[in-house]
Amino acid sequence: MLQSTDARSGALHGAAWDESSPEQIDAAVAAAASAADAFAAKSNAQRAAFLRALAQALTDNAAALLPVADRETALGLPRLEGELARTAFQLRGFADAVEQGAAQAFLDETAMAGAPPAGRPRLSRIQAPLGPVAVFAASNFPFAFSVLGGDSASAFAAGCPVVLKAHPGHPQLSRDVAAIAATVVEQCGLPAGVFQLVEGASVAVGVQLVQSPAIAAVAFTGSFKGGTALARLAADRPRPVPFYGELGSVNPLVVLPAALAGGPDALAQTLADSICLGAGQFCTSPGVIVVFKDAPGDAFVQQLRTRLAAAAPHAMLNAGIRAAFERGVDQWRQHAKLQVLVDGRQPQGNPRPFLAQVDVADFLADHRLHEEVFGCAALVVRVDDSAQVVALLNAIGGTLTSTLWGVPAGDVQPDEAVLAVVRTAVQVSGRVLFSGVPTGVAVTAAQHHGGPFPASTAPFTTSVGYAAVQRFVRPLALQDAPGWLLAREGAFL
């Protein structure tokens, strides 16, 4: 059963309802499959109009949606207002990208007379929509990574119907947004199968959806355990399909000595704010803070400690996420090699930040310390030199982000030690920052939100930014195609 729950009090709201039955899931996938050809054949202008209509409907219904989102997630109206605006911006951005041909790249090479290899037939390379996409909504972004979030927007932009698996953490909001989406589908004259919703907290719902033969690709944002289990199912199907999983990350932040030349105060406050943003429930929250063993480093850690101790994060998304946070913090608390710096010890009410310090040798020796604790918690790892920073980054492995404070700016060439740190960060991360903090992922064409495994299952793809559409199209070569087909310049049949 599903029921709307107040994230702050745990109180149940409204009537409960059943999760989607196996028959309902089959019907949703069948509807998406039946709509696939018609939706793929829509012009760029029609797809763009659909995306803009979704954005407008989301904005028009903000007053009704925001209180429901706040009740179910405890994220607060200011944050949710910004997230809804971001989601509408993202939908409009994909509309612009569609009109610019992002989903329908067309390359035409004329025939050349003569024998191969110099001679060749006329070849035209286009991109074809994959077909129905199963999208798994995330818990921590109830708009931007949920029903009409980036995965749905990019699938629509590619010309693919979406079967959306709602997150049980915000079930009523998901239903409300899905109803808005269904209305827009109808108003735009599209088949109802272009958008379908399935619901459920049980594992069986997600398993059936991934294994449905008509599903052509899967997009997932969530836990490492859940994502890797679904990825195996997608790979083990009789006809395997691509699984695009964003699985979280510890997002190391390296404080090189040069970064502290201006003092620790401002940087410590910036970092504390990032760790606690959204109660730490960001996939890009900085979880490993690398600081050198020197006097400026000591001062920075002390300032970070002071500011985190004063922070007051809001309630977490739901009781399950809160329980997982407390379990993770408790494991750190009991670790013999960790020095606890900030520990509010508040199992009831809103969470309290947790910060501990560990020597790099002990960190490298225990793989458990490399794992994410989802929430407002972080480890400070103290290092002697840049070589140890390189070892730490390699030990953590794939991350969504790495942040490097103190790398020379402008045209100043770093020394070999710093260059080695940069080189390693580039190898293990999907996004490398040289200023600021990793929380906050801009929606833009140049963005890459992914990373080497275990951060994501497909590091060459992004789930944020307009390149995300490339996940849901496949290249197709047309040889000596007739003129009527070539005139479409990549628009699918």
Nearest to 247 by CA among 458, 34, 23: 458
CB within 8 A of 220, min separation 6: which ones?
136, 226, 227, 230, 231, 243, 244, 245, 246
Rounded (10°) CA dihedral 258, 259, 261, 266 = 180
The DSSP 8-state label assigned to residue 278 in this structure reads G
Nearest to 126 by CA among 103, 106, 155: 106
Burial string for 272-311 (b: 16+ CB within 10 Å, else e) reads bebbbbbbbbbbbbbbbbbbbeeebbeebbebbbebbeeb
**Contact in structure between 421 and 393 (CB atoms under 8 Å):** yes
* Tokens read off for 263: 């003092």
Is 246 among the catalytic positions?
yes
Active-site option among 19, 199, 246, 372:
246
- Find where tokens 């997608």 sit: 234
User: Quick one: 410 exposed, middle or buried, by C-beta within 10 A (0-12, 13-18, 19+)?
Assistant: exposed
* Tokens read off for 328: 């993770």
Active-site option among 72, 283, 326, 376:
283
Task: Give residue 109's region: left, alpha or beta (phi > 0; psi -120 to 50).
Answer: beta
Nearest to 352 by CA among 396, 398, 308, 387: 308
Is 283 among the catalytic positions?
yes
What is d(CA 13, CA 190) in angstroms, rounded to the nearest whole number? 34
Residue count (the chain) = 493
What is d(CA 474, CA 225) in angstroms, rounded to the nearest whole number? 28
Task: Give residue 290's region: left, alpha or beta (phi > 0; psi -120 to 50).
Answer: beta
What is d(CA 52, CA 350) in angstroms, rounded to the nearest whole number? 38
Nearest to 281 by CA among 71, 452, 78, 74: 74
**Contact in structure between 35 and 194 (CB atoms under 8 Å):** yes
Residues with catalytic annotation? 246, 283
